[in-house]
């Protein structure tokens, strides 16, 4: 679905990714996306108390609403590094802005990797020349490669369409969270578009779309130190300007949603050690927050996740997670379906066909549908299973 496509490009954007020796071997670890002209910018950042230095810097810079480049290093998160970490980030930022010949405040920087280690500033500075010289219109895949950590495949999504009487392009790239909870790893996603859009509208739409896509695979207030989502809009499409409350803004929102939903699902499919893609749908809730609590109580249960990995049709664990969500439930009204098979309703198990249920658990895409029968609010969460490989990958990440 988001396998890397040849010739991915967005008008007015250049990109590149190189190896600066931050990660072992000659893996790419320094990436750059660059708009040939200053672009409108909007961004969301982690709510973690211990925000990484680059997050603190970017959060200030995006307030101007203008940015032109995003520099990313993998292999080191530059988080929990104190004043030195902040100084390191600013040193790298200054050097990159100089190379790019843009105002430093128009450069955004992101880091991902191990927390608590100093940023290898010299290596990054040494890599900047090659990185900037190599900027090219088809460099997006290299930029994506440079921000991957445990990702098994690159995540790039692109949509083209007519908005405001002109062809516009929206392209997003993402670096996966380890699992679907961003506190499991860092999530970085950047969106490039040539659409001409009002700054306020861009900010509003980006927040709305992130909330319905990436935040549906995350737990609020439970993010990593570095999570960052950025959108740059350089306006080169020359379309009729997109402003709030317009039909054409709605069309832009739909295209952006397609891009980010594709990336968000790719992040789950590439979850560390994931062998299943599980959709948890909660409906009939009194409030969205109730639906959300139930969805996460199920999606985050290690017992549920291991049952899916083991293809063990132990649906009772899902029911227990529903009942443990802490919200007020009328249990006689709750029903649970897995695949298209109802396993529990009216406070009793439904006549089960174990063989059929086993087949459902053996599938790669599994939908868990929970109806609370108490209202009309719903919420969906994408999650993955919990496998040996998840433990293996995370048992020796720094070493």
Query: 98 or 392: whose CB is closer to a second copy?
Result: 392
Is 167 a binding residue for a second copy by CB under 8 A? The answer is no
Which residue among 1, 162, 165, 391 contacts a second copy (CB under 8 A)? 391
Q: Which is nearer to a second copy, 308 or 382 (CB)?
A: 308
Instruction: Tell me if 224 contacts a second copy by CB under 8 A.
Output: yes
Segment interacting with a second copy, rule: CB under 8 A, options 36-44, 179-187, 190-198, 373-381: 179-187
Site for a second copy in 371-390 (CB under 8 A): 386-388, 390
Least Å distance, CB 276 to a second copy, is: 12
Q: Which of residues 266-305 bind a second copy (CB under 8 A)?
A: 297, 301-303
Q: Which is nearer to a second copy, 78 or 203 (CB)?
A: 78
Of residues 19-58, those binding a second copy (CB under 8 A): 47-51
With CB under 8 A as the contact rule, the residue among 13, 190, 344, 382 that binds a second copy is: 344
Q: Is 186 in the active site?
A: yes
- 112, 149, 169, 186: the catalytic one is 186
Binding mask 83-122 for a second copy (x = CB under 8 A): xxx----------------------------xxxx-----
The 3-state secondary structure of the chain, one letter per residue? CCCCCCCCCCCCEEEEEECCCCCCCCCCCEEEEEEEEEEEEEEEECCCCCCCHHHHHHHHHHHHCEEEEEEEEECECCCCCHHHHHHHHHHHHHHHHHHHCCCHHHEEEEEECCCCCCCCHHHHHHHHHHHHHCCECCCHHHHHHHHCCCCCCCEEEEEEEEECCEEEEEEEEEECCCCCCHHHCCCEEEEEECCCECHHHHHHHHHHHHHHCHHHHCCCCCCCCCCEEEEEECCCCCCCCECCCCHHHHHHHHHHHHHHHHHHHHHHHCCCCCCCEEEEEEEEECCHHHHHHHHHHHHCCHHHHHHHHCCCCCCHHHHHHHHCCCCCCCHHHCEEEECCEEEEECCEECCCCHHHHHHHHHCCEEEEEEECCCCCEEEEEEEECCCHHHHHHHHCCCC
Residues 184-213 that bind a second copy (CB under 8 A): 184-185
Candidates 80-88, 99-107, 148-156, 284-292; binding stretch for a second copy (CB under 8 A): 80-88
Size of the site for a second copy (CB under 8 A): 71
Nearer to a second copy, 38 or 120 (CB): 120
Using CB under 8 A, pick the residue from 346, 353, 362, 364 that binds a second copy. Answer: 346
326 near a second copy (CB under 8 A): yes
Which residue, 139 or 178, is less far from a second copy as judged by CB? 178
Hey, which residues are catalytic here?
186
């Amino acid at each position: 679905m988001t396998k890397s496509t040849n010739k991915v490009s967005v008008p007015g954007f250049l990109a590149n990714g190189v190896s600066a020796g931050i990660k072992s071997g000659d893996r790419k670890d320094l990436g750059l996306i660059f708009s040939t002209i200053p672009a409108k910018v909007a961004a969301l950042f982690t709510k973690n108390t211990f925000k990484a230095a680059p997050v603190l810097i970017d959060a200030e810079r995006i307030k101007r609403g203008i940015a032109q480049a995003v520099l990313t290093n993998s292999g080191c998160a530059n988080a929990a590094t104190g004043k030195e970490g902040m100084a390191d980030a600013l040193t790298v930022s200054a050097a990159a802005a100089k190379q790019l010949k843009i105002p430093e405040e128009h450069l955004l920087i992101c880091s991902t990797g191990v927390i608590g280690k100093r940023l290898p500033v010299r290596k990054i500075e040494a890599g900047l020349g090659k990185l900037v010289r190599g900027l090219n219109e088809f460099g997006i895949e290299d930029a994506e490669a440079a921000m991957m950590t445990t990702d098994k495949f690159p995540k790039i999504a692109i949509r083209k369409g007519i908005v405001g009487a002109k062809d516009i392009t929206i392209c997003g790239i993402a670096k996966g969270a380890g699992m679907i909870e961003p506190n499991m790893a860092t999530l970085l996603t950047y969106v490039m578009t040539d659409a001409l859009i009002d700054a306020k509208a861009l900010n509003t739409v980006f927040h709305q779309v992130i909330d319905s896509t990436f935040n549906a695979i995350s737990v609020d207030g439970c993010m990593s130190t570095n999570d960052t989502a950025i959108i740059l809009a350089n306006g080169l499409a020359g379309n009729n300007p997109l402003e709030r409350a317009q039909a054409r803004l709605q069309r832009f929102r739909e295209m952006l949603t397609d891009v980010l939903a594709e990336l968000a699902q790719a992040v789950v499919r590439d979850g560390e050690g994931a062998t299943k893609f599980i959709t948890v749908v909660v409906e009939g809730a009194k409030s969205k927050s109730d639906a959300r609590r139930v969805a996460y109580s199920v999606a985050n249960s290690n017992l549920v996740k291991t049952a899916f990995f083991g293809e063990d049709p132990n649906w009772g664990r899902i029911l227990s997670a529903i009942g443990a969500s802490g919200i007020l439930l009328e249990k006689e009204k709750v029903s649970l379906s897995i695949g298209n098979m109802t396993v529990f309703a009216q406070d009793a198990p439904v006549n089960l066909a174990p063989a059929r249920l086993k087949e459902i658990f053996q599938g790669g895409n599994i939908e868990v549908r929970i109806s609370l029968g108490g209202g009309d609010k719903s919420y969906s969460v994408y999650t993955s299973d919990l496998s040996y490989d998840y433990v293996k990958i995370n048992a020796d990440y720094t070493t």
